[in-house]
Amino acid sequence: LDEGLVCHVGFAVDSQPFVLPTAYARIGEYLYVHGSPMARWLSLLRQALPVCATVSILDGFVLARSAFRHSVNYRSVVALGHFAEVEGEEKLAALRAIIEHIMPGRWGDAIRHPSDGELQATVVLKISLHEASAKIRSGPPADLEPDLKDRARKVWAGHLPLVLSPLAPVPDPALQQDIPAPDYLIEYGKR
């Protein structure tokens, strides 16, 4: 959860399932999401609809000797339950955590923190991680013995690790020229 970047929240409305991607942050045993009170999914989830929230990281492609055994390496979490709205100090802490989750160091920079009006124009919900599972696949393919022993089939097998890595930061065209890129931005992804 600390390394993932996107949470997918699944829920059903009149038997129609929806899955929506969103930013998130974890604080302790809770996962927090936020958005506009005008967003339909947030007004639905405010009413404690049963949900499934998942975060996954793709770590690599697994190339096996048989088509059947091809796979991916990953780390994923699935949480079941319902969201509850948070207010006050917890709401502000969650917003801070969401910004810090995306870009560590950003909240402590010179950004303007939310005004009362902006806080009112933001819904923050949390879901307990009490009912959650994690699943991980890593390493080489799991080929069958006959395929491993088949020396005649000269096919490469293994895995291709993948990472999400940043490109050079692109300044806002309206940025004052005397403001350099902050260290946390230059260092992003080197963690």
Ligand X SMILES: Cc1cc2nc3c(=O)[nH]c(=O)nc-3n(C[C@H](O)[C@H](O)[C@H](O)COP(=O)(O)OP(=O)(O)OC[C@H]3O[C@@H](n4cnc5c(N)ncnc54)[C@H](O)[C@@H]3O)c2cc1C
Torsions phi, psi for 184 (to 5 deg): -65, -25
Are 36 and 126 in contact by the 8 Å Cβ rule? The answer is no
CA atoms within 13 A on the CB side of 60: 14
- Give the one residue of 133, 138, 148, 158 binding ligand X; rule: CB under 6 A: 133
18 SS3 class: strand
Size of the site for ligand X (CB under 6 A): 10
Select from 33-41, 108-116, 131-139, 157-165 the region that touches ligand X (CB under 6 A). Answer: 131-139
| Min separation Cβ 131 and ligand X, Å | 8
Residue listed under structure tokens 């946390």: 184
Write down the least CB distance from residue 29 to ligand X, Å.
Answer: 16
Stretch that binds ligand X, among 12-20, 34-42, 133-141, 166-174 (CB under 6 A): 133-141
Site for ligand X in 24-63 (CB under 6 A): 56, 58
- Asked if 70 touches ligand X (CB under 6 A), the answer is no
Q: Indicate whether 74 belongs to the interface with ligand X (CB under 6 A).
A: yes
Is residue 135 at the binding interface for ligand X, with CB under 6 A as the rule?
yes
Binding mask 75-94 for ligand X (x = CB under 6 A): -xxx----------------
Range in contact with ligand X (rule: CB under 6 A) among 71-79, 109-117, 118-126, 141-149: 71-79
- Tell whether residue 138 is a contact of ligand X (CB under 6 A): no
Q: Cα separations (Å) of 16 from 19, 51, 56?
A: 10, 13, 23
Nearer to ligand X, 40 or 135 (CB): 135
Q: Which residues touch 63 (CB under 8 Å, ≥6 apart)?
A: 70, 141, 156, 157, 158, 159, 160
Instruction: Give the integer Cα–Cα distance in Å for 111 and 123.
Output: 20
Of 19, 134, 175, 186, the one binding ligand X (CB under 6 A) is: 134
CB of 162 to ligand X, least distance (A): 11
Residue carrying the six token digits 């796979």: 71
Residue 91: CB partners within 8 Å, gap ≥ 6? 119, 122, 124
Cα(104)–Cα(79) distance, rounded to whole angstroms? 24
Residues contributing to the site for ligand X (CB under 6 A): 56, 58, 72, 74, 76-78, 133-135
